[in-house]
Amino acid sequence: MAHIRSIIGYFAYELVPHGGKHFQSQSSFVSSLPLSLDFIGFKSREIRSKKATTPKSSDIEIALLHFKIKPLLQLLSYKANESSICFVDYPPPDGVIRPPPFPKRPSLYDEVEWGQHVTQNDARIAHRFWYLADSRLRNTLERGERPFLHPENDEEAAAMPLHALAQAVYEHLMRDHLLPLNPNDWETERTDHSWAFQDIFEDRPWTFFKSMLVQSLKSEQLKDALIERGLEDRGTVSVLRQRLEAYQVEGPKCYRALRRSDLSHWGIDRTDISRLFAINISENERASTLDMYTCAILRSPYNPAYWMSRAYCHYRHALFDLAIGDAYRAQLLVDVLVNPMRRNVQPGLYTRVWHAIEQHIIVGAQKAEINLLRAGNGVNYFVPTMRKALHNIICLSLMALQSWNDQAIFEDDLTNKIIMNDRDTQPFKRRQKMVRLIQGEWERNKPLDYGRNHLYHEKHNGRSYGGTPYPYDANDTMRLPKTGEGEGLAAKASDFFVTKNASLPWKNCKIAMEREKRYMMVATENIAKDELIWVEIPAARGHLGVKRPTLPRDHTPERKYTCDNCQRPVTREDRQKQKDQHNAREACRCIDCEPRLVFCPARGDDGDETCAENARRRYHFRACGKDWAWLHDAMRPFVSTFKGSKKWLSHSNEKHGTVMSLLLREVFDITLLRREKHPGLQAHEIDELLALEGRADWKDQNFPFTFAANIQVPNDILMCLGVDIFRDLSFDTWVIQLVLQKLLVNAIPWDQGLRTKIPRSDKMKRGWEFPSRSRQENWPEEKFEKYDPTCRFLYLFPGFSFFDHACNDNGNAQWGYDTDVPNRLLVWATRPIKASEEIRISYISDKDRDEREPVLERVLGKPCNCPGPTHGAQDGPASPAPGPLSSAEPPTPSPSRR
């Protein structure tokens, strides 16, 4: 024992600036250290065999690692045997550093323009919405029931006002804290109430908008003002003025919020004022509990209490993914208050959060709460209970989604960060035991082919249920019409994807509907064998770059670049020319960013559009010139660095299922540009996504869910693009989930490696572990290629999504990629096709024909409906399904077919 004490004592006494200043000698300081052999991790016989001499550098490093004070090594060094040994010159031992639980977040600074500090009037309106809904929640607590937060003594009784912002939510959570709600048996009793306009605003005059000089407003200004106030905007200018003047004199008689997109060009009529808004509160239209919390957020978006309350409301309705999304946004706001490392990262946010909570308490006018607000810690007094409530919502929701890996991380997180009463820590401890029992039961009963049928990035996924409708998703965008209501969106989709397809000069097919059950692509004329049917360029691109540790000089291949727009190779000379000249026609600012983005040199005449110009016109907007290395790192193996020189692959963030993140960024970028002309446009309703499959088509489907892929990374992408995720609810969590689900179903891979027969082990990467740092030294390029992500290049071809699948020889067409423009997709006939006949392709490559019907159903998301007596392959062992985005492509057609 003396030897270990001498190691720590020597280090602390001699090297730590303030470690031993109160001790007369090193020995007295050492004897005061409360060390134990079990804590240090050494075997006693090894300790006894050593003498209490000058400690070795390796012993010190091991002890420091066990004591979790290794960061001091970056500041201090130890001298022994008349030579200087600097520990920061040596990387940590293999296996010592664990990978972070989630991908690293971006370094956000001034990307977001925050809204104004909440005004007293807005705070009063927000508090009114929240108070009525929260009161209903408090009233549902059973009479005579002992509250979870029941004070045991006078000190706890005096501290009850600390729970003011979260008491009702926390009390309800603690009533059922072991297991989440059963999605098939969820209840809304505690959050199922409604209010008419008079119920909310009958007690006093309320002002929702500033008064305007009506006579000076023109027609468009009058219409905008009326719509903003939830009033009809049809009529002559004089009628509009009278309507607005009456509103300002008589006061509001309705409240409307969450304006929807204008989809009139798709034949969707939202001119009626109640269809134009998702939330309508009037004499005849009532607000639900969810509406009340949403309206509170819209009035005071930086108050985490409102986000927390809405998260619990989502949880009670078994919308667990939305509950996690709201709880996460609330946590971001709370972290700004309690974490000094986050407080000043994004200037302006801290004061807005503090002010929002402060105004909420002032408006509430409760004496005990105001006294706490005026005390030393101010609003921070009210934060701890909110943190515990938020953490319980996230943990229970992750359990419900069966996202076990993420749930285990969160379950320990809060208890490791703060000191809590035993009463508050018990739910976390009890739930951990329950999770272990459930996981053990699941492991014993899981299907034998479970491992074979899941890819590496799907191993840690939870499951989100596809058939549950989201509250604010408009039902007028359903792809499949009700019986007798016609062709749905078929005609408009055919016009958008076929008629206006500039890449398709001939039109020998169209989108149609089969008996109001499904969309399909049919021939409009007779098509000969090998005739080209379809040509499409991607509407969204996801190009994931690879990152390597330092390679040996004799094994460092030349880095190859391809055009981000068309995937043609770009030579080193062209790349250097663009970088030197910064030619705006051929390049953009991203050529100096990491990962570097390059485009083709100009081709043809001077007036022809270059690839860079095409990209800026179609998909490359706000994302241009920003640092997206963090997003690529969130999707690929991570290169750890020691002192800027020693680099190695430490772990892969691919396991978080973030495979769709780059495509998601493209969709957000496109949406933000189009919103400049079409305010209120939502990401899942852009033209490229609107007509694709939606939740009404996924009643029997589950979608993968991980905290990183579905919550953390999408919110970080939005903030990098300048979106205020707290104020702009057009990018609410439910919109993000819909976009991800549409992308997952419709994204197509381009990777060359997926165009050949893929060994089962490469598909699954089962038990994939990275070699130690020392083993990776001097590895050549081909050694690292094994650990590259499964899908590096993903595209969205919305028109191509209307071609349905056919098994075996039941199809009549084939698809592949062009040889001239590498990412241009082609479909050609494999046999003669008659007019009005459906065109079907195989989703599975001829080179990967060992798929059976259960696996095929997983690819399609539903049983195959193609004509023919058989489905799936007839023989061969079962192999993992690549899913809708990983099937190997068939060979590209020869030039004669084009």
Q: How confident is the model at residue 741 (pLDDT cuts 50, 70, 90)?
A: very high
Rg (CA), the chain: 31
Average pLDDT over residues 270-295: 91
CA dist., res. 565 & res. 560, Å (int):
15
Tokens representing 807 are 């098994």
- Is the model more confident about 284 or about 754? 284
Q: Which of 244, 210, 208 is nearest to 224 (CA)?
A: 244
CA dihedral angle for residue 684, residue 688, residue 690, residue 695, rounded to 10 degrees? -70
- pLDDT score of 6: 34
- Position 467 scores a pLDDT of 77
Mean pLDDT within 441-466:
73
pLDDT of residue 20: 37
Task: Report the pLDDT value the prediction gives residue 895, as an integer from 0 to 100.
Answer: 34
pLDDT for the residue 555:
59
Kind of pairing between the strands at 518-523 and 813-817: unpaired
Q: Has residue 750 got a pLDDT over 70? A: yes
Place of tokens 């039902």: 475
Query: What letter represents residue 818's amino acid?
Result: D
Centroid of chain to Cα 804? 29
With a cut of 70, say whether residue 9 has pLDDT above it: no
637-642 and 646-652: which strand pairing?
A: antiparallel
DSSP helix/strand/coil, 851: coil
Q: Which two tokens stand for residue 302?
A: 């930086």
User: In this predicted structure, what is the pLDDT of residue 412?
Assistant: 83
Which residues, 6 or more positions from 495, have their beta carbon under 8 angstroms from its beta carbon?
Answer: none
User: For all residues of the chain together, what is the average pLDDT?
Assistant: 79
In sign, the C-alpha dihedral spanning 97, 107, 357, 298 is negative
| Local structure of residue 838 (DSSP, 8 states) | B
CA nearest neighbour of 158 among 387, 371, 385 = 371
Q: Model confidence at 853, in pLDDT bands (50, 70, 90)?
A: low
**How much is the pLDDT for 37?**
31
DSSP H stretches of helix in 107-153: 120-139
Give pairs for 280-284: CB < 8 Å, separation 24+.
Answer: 280/230, 280/254, 280/256, 281/195, 281/196, 281/197, 281/200, 281/254, 281/255, 281/256, 282/196, 282/197, 282/253, 282/254, 282/255, 283/196, 283/197, 283/198, 283/253, 283/254, 284/196
Number of other CB atoms surrounding residue 433 within 10 Å: 10
**What CA–CA distance (Å, rounded) separates 98 from 309?**
35
Is 289 a residue whose pLDDT tops 90? yes
Give pLDDT, residue 719: 97
Q: Model confidence at 296, in pLDDT bands (50, 70, 90)?
A: very high
Please say if the pLDDT value at position 374 is more than 80.
Answer: yes
Q: Any idea which residue has 């057609």 for tokens?
A: 893
Taking only the tens place, the pLDDT of each residue in 206-265 is: 888 877 777 778 888 888 888 888 888 888 888 888 888 888 877 788 899 999 988 888
Residue 755's pLDDT is 63
Percent of the chain at pLDDT > 90 equals 37
Residue 148 backbone phi and psi in degrees, to 5: -65, -35
- Please give the helix or strand (H or E) that residue 869 lies within, else none: none
CB 546 within 8 A of CB 636: yes
pTM of the model: 0.84
Q: Where is pLDDT greater, at 895 or 158?
A: 158
Is 80 exceeded by the pLDDT of residue 441? no
Does the pLDDT of residue 477 top 60, yes or no? yes
Residue 320 above 90 pLDDT?
A: yes
The lowest-confidence range among 304-318, 558-572, 871-885 is 871-885
Q: Which tokens in the block code for residue 133?
A: 């809904």
CA neighbor of 792 nearest in space, from 741, 747, 742, 826? 747
Q: What are phi and psi of 258, to 5 degrees?
A: 60, 75
> Residue 888 in contact with residue 754, Cβ under 8 Å?
yes
pLDDT at 828 over 90: yes
The answer to whether 565 and 615 have CB atoms below 8 angstroms apart is yes
Question: In this predicted structure, which of 435-439, 507-511, 572-576 has the lowest mean pLDDT?
Answer: 435-439
Min mean pLDDT across 143-147, 174-178, 597-601, 666-670 is at 143-147
Instruction: Assign 733 a pLDDT band (cuts: 50, 70, 90).
Output: very high
Binning pLDDT at 50, 70 and 90, where does residue 30 land? very low
| Domains in the chain, CATH or no CATH each | 2-89 (no CATH), 197-285 (no CATH), 462-544+689-768+794-898 (2.170.270.10)
CA–CA distance, 299 with 823 (Å, rounded to integer):
46
pLDDT band at 48 (very low <50, low <70, confident <90, very high): very low
Backbone angles phi, psi at 860, to 5 degrees: -80, -25
Q: Give the pLDDT score at 244.
A: 86
pLDDT of residue 346: 93
Q: How sure is the predictor about 358, in pLDDT bands with cuts at 50, 70 and 90?
A: very high
What pLDDT shows up at residue 482?
A: 52
Higher local confidence (pLDDT), 800 or 204: 800
pLDDT for 35 beyond 60:
no
Can you say whether residue 604 is alpha, beta or left, with left for phi > 0 and alpha for psi between -120 and 50 degrees?
Answer: left
Which pLDDT does position 608 carry in this prediction? 80
425 sits in which H/E element: helix 422-445
Number of neighbouring beta carbons within 10 Å of residue 669: 20
